[in-house]
Amino acid sequence: MAESEEYYDYLFKLVLIGDSGVGKSNLLSRFTRNEFLYESKSTIGVEFATRNLKMEGKTVKAQIWDTAGQERYRAITSAYYRGAVGALLVFDITKRATYDNVDRWLKELREHADPDIAIMLVGNKTDQPHLRGVSTAEAQQKAREAKLSYFETSALSGDNVEASFTELVKEIYSIASRAQIDVAGSSWVPTQFRPDHAESVPLGGPAKPASNGGCC
């Protein structure tokens, strides 16, 4: 499934965000490699994995980024958001505190990400219904208010993981393909959606060419 074919029409950078321990890294490995790792390390630094999806006959490459979730790590994550067109904001349905932090993560996105970034709220660990601390209705309500879509997943069982990522990619795809149609005639494609085989800039907005790649 995760055969990373060289060819793609669109490249979308997605970021995983949310508190430490909610299951971001396992959602990523479930979606890109169909794996759940019982023995995985806490994420330090940045990881990413990719998977190609088909949308209306076009190939969309989802490049998904993952990083540490602890609050203080936000001091070094501004480069992480650069060029991201979608975000999965994950919380753990069995840990109320991770849900209470959703608003802080939304604020973080407003400060660091593109204002047009597509955001999906994800409640993970539905395989533990007996430990549930956040009801579906409640989370749905929050998502509605913030104009986000909401999905509940289990990285462990694999339930809904495919559906949530695909839905987010679909949302972005429809915006991207509309943007392309809007300027029919010209070959203009918003920079962040441009497939770039030769150099494969990580979306990177109008890639600041001489940016020193240095620290933030």
Partner 1 sequence: MVEENQAAEAHTLDRYGFIVSSDEHGPLRQPTRQSIEKEHERIQKWTWMLNHWQGFHHTRKFRQRVRKGIPEQFRGVVWQKLLASRVLYEHHELENPFKSVYSALLTQTNEEAAITIEKDITRTFPSHAMFRSDNTAGKDALEHNLNAFACYKPEVGYCQGMGFIDGVLLMYMSEKEAFWALRQIVVDRMPGIFNTGFPMLQVRFKQWNKLLSKREPAIFKALARHNIDASFYTTQWFMTLFIYAAPFEVAVRIFDCFCCEGVKIVFRVGLTYIAALKKTILKAPFEQVMVAIQRTPLTLELFESAIDLKLKSAEFALPDEGRKVMVR
Ligand X SMILES: Nc1nc2c(ncn2[C@@H]2O[C@H](COP(=O)(O)OP(=O)(O)O)[C@@H](O)[C@H]2O)c(=O)[nH]1
Binding site for partner 1 (CB under 8 A): 4, 20-21, 38-42, 44-48, 50, 63, 68, 70, 72-73, 75-77, 79-80, 82-83, 97, 197-202, 204, 207, 209-216
Distance CA 166, CA 162 (A): 6
The smaller minimum CB distance to ligand X, of residues 13 and 24, is found at: 24
What's the rounded Cα separation, in Å, for the pair 124 and 156?
A: 9
C-alpha pair distances (Å), 162 with each of 34, 156, 167, 193: 9, 13, 8, 22
Q: Which of 32, 77, 124, 160 binds ligand X (CB under 6 A)?
A: 124
Nearest distance from residue 181's CB to ligand X, in Å?
Answer: 37
Q: Which of residues 50-69 bind ligand X (CB under 6 A)?
A: 69
Three-state SS sequence of 177-197:
HHHHHHCCCCCCCCHHHCCCC
Stretch that binds ligand X, among 5-13, 44-52, 57-65, 123-131 (CB under 6 A): 123-131
Closest residue by Cα to residue 70 from 96, 104, 38: 104
Q: What are phi and psi of 113, to 5 degrees?
A: -100, 170
Nearer to ligand X, 46 or 175 (CB): 46
Is residue 154 a contact residue for ligand X (CB under 6 A)?
yes
Residue 141 interacts with which of partner 1, ligand X, Mg ion, none, CB < 5 to 8 Å by class: none
- CB-wise, 20 or 59, nearer to ligand X? 20
C-alpha 17/C-alpha 108 separation (Å) is 10
H or E segment at 88?
Answer: strand 86-92
Q: Which residues bind Mg ion (CB under 5 A)?
A: 24-25, 43
Give the rounded distance of the alpha carbon of 113 from its chain centre. Answer: 12
Choice from 78, 128, 140, 149 touching ligand X (CB under 6 A)? 128
In this structure, what token pair is assigned to residue 159? Answer: 């339930």
The reply to whether 191 sits near ligand X by the rule CB under 6 A is no
Nearer to partner 1, 8 or 151 (CB): 8
Per CB under 6 A, 34 contacts ligand X: no
C-alpha neighbours within 13 Å on the C-beta side of residue 173: 20
Binding site for ligand X (CB under 6 A): 20-26, 38, 40, 42-43, 69, 124-125, 127-128, 154-156
